[in-house]
Structure 1
């Protein structure tokens, strides 16, 4: 079951879709389902390339998760101008979505999972490190150095034009100096060690946009913690958006396997 909603953020409406488990009902007062919030990447949307996030939400709902996928302001069907916002706004918008999701009937507030792809992975990682409500973190091809990585995608020469221009046109988005300046203020790889929950990092070996080296670098940081586990998996021949049947299959199966294993481990601890 799906429900389309609009979430308020600073006078804008963020378009979002909630996916519920098949057995979910409004009257189900005692049931408590884990919540997954999906954070899309740079100039993306809640649908994703080749419907990546739609399919992911469907898969997770089948495993009895409530899932929210949403469009950042200026993306997809949300209000606003993407290029006028920055990474600080993406964090704030995500927090608004988390607040909304945790108020839903049937959601277990102690089982919040953030799933971030690409730049959304950097957002999710930073929030997880700074918000104790996040219990598990799923990173798909995460950005590690927001400013450096996004400038590499857009092009250094294009970004240099902002010294004389109010904005640059990238794929129909008007990106401003404020957008790039905000990226330079956040360092999710440095913050990552503060997260005390369980993590899985999945990256395609043929990622053409964000180096699979980040899978190893994030893992190295997470492994230094005294609390919380981390797994890493490289998806053979998958590109940045996992745009193949095999790539998506492996991505989803590894994600679902990990979630089931973590849940099983937590259940055992409670019994003991």
Structure 2
């Protein structure tokens, strides 16, 4: 069951979809459900390339998870101008979405999961480092060096234009100097130390947008924390959006197994008393 929602974040209205699992009548209103909040990437939307996030949500809800997909400001059906803000705006919008899900009676507050893809992966970890409500983190092909990675996507000519005139048009998005400056200010690989929860990283070897080496670099940095585990899975021949049927199925299966295992571990521990 899908429910269209609008979440106010400052002067921006975030458009989203809250998707429910099959709620059994006898547990409706009493059972708490884990929720997965999906953070899309650079100039993306809640549908995802080739329906990546739609298909992910369908798999997740079929296994008993609530899922919230939303468009960042200026993307999809949300209001605002994506390029006029910076990573700070994306982090704040993500935290506003967490405010919303935390207020839902059906949500298990101990099982709020952020799933971020590409730049959304960097936004997710930066948010998790600032917000203790994020209990688990899933990163698909995550950006590790925001300024360098986005520069490689939009091109050095666009960066030069932004430095010279203060803005540049990229695929009809007007990117401003505030946006590019903010990319340089945030360092996910060092700031991740503020997050103490468990992490899963999934990346493809055929990713030509974000290097698969980031998967190993992120895991190394997460391992240096005093708390929290980090698992990684590298999918052979998978591209940046896991576009092949085989790569997509692997990505979904790996993600579901991982978050299911976390839930089982939590359930097992709850049976112990001291």
- Bin the TM-score by the shorter chain: over 0.9
Q: Equivalent residue for 1:232?
A: 232
Matches for 1:3-152 after TM superposition, within 5 Å: 3-23=3-23, 28-152=28-152
- Tell whether 2:156 aligns with 1:160: no
What SS is found at the alignment partner of 2:215? Answer: helix
Q: What are structure 2's unaligned runs of at least 5 residues? A: none
**CA–CA separation in structure 2 for the residues paired with 1:191 and 1:177:** 23
Query: CA-atom RMSD, angstroms?
Result: 1.4
Task: Give 1:11 deviation, angstroms.
Answer: 2.2
User: How far, CA to CA, are the matches of 1:236 and 1:157 in structure 2?
Assistant: 33
TM-score, structure 1 as length reference: 0.96
SS at match of 1:60: helix
SS of 1:164's equivalent in the other structure is helix
Alpha-carbon distance in structure 2 between the residues aligned to 1:62 and 1:75: 27
Offset of residue 263 of structure 1: 1.4
Q: Which residue of 2 aligns with 1:202?
A: 202
What displacement does 1:193 show? 2.3
In 2, Cα distance between the equivalents of 1:24 and 1:204?
37
User: Structure 1 pair 194/10, CA: closer, same or farther in 2 (3 Å)?
Assistant: closer
Structural mapping, 1:167-246, within 5 Å: 167-246=167-246
Residue 268 (structure 1) aligns with = 268
Structure 1's unaligned 5+ residue stretches are none
Contact 2:9–2:93, Cα closer than 8 Å, also in 1: yes
Provide closer, same or farther for how the CA distance between residues 24 and 87 of structure 1 changes in structure 2, counting only shifts above 3 A.
Answer: farther
Distance 1:148 1:24 in 2: 48
Instruction: Give, in whole Å, the separation in 2 of the partners of 1:16 and 1:138.
Output: 19
Q: What SS does the aligned partner of 2:135 have?
A: strand
Check the 8 A contact 2:95/2:131 in 1, yes or no.
Answer: no
Aligned-residue offset at 1:65: 1.0
Report deviation, 1:76. Answer: 0.5
Q: Deviations over 1:14-47 (max 9, x none)?
A: 110001011167x933210011110000000000
In structure 1, C-alpha distance between the alignment counterparts of 2:58 and 2:40, rounded to whole Å: 16
CA distance in 2, matches of 1:226, 1:118: 26
Q: 1:51, 1:31 → 2: CA distance?
A: 30
Instruction: Say which SS state the counterpart of residue 88 (structure 2) adopts.
Output: helix
**What TM-score results when the alignment is normalised by the length of structure 2?**
0.96
Shift of 1:58: 1.1
Count of aligned positions: 272
**1:225: Cα distance to partner?**
2.2
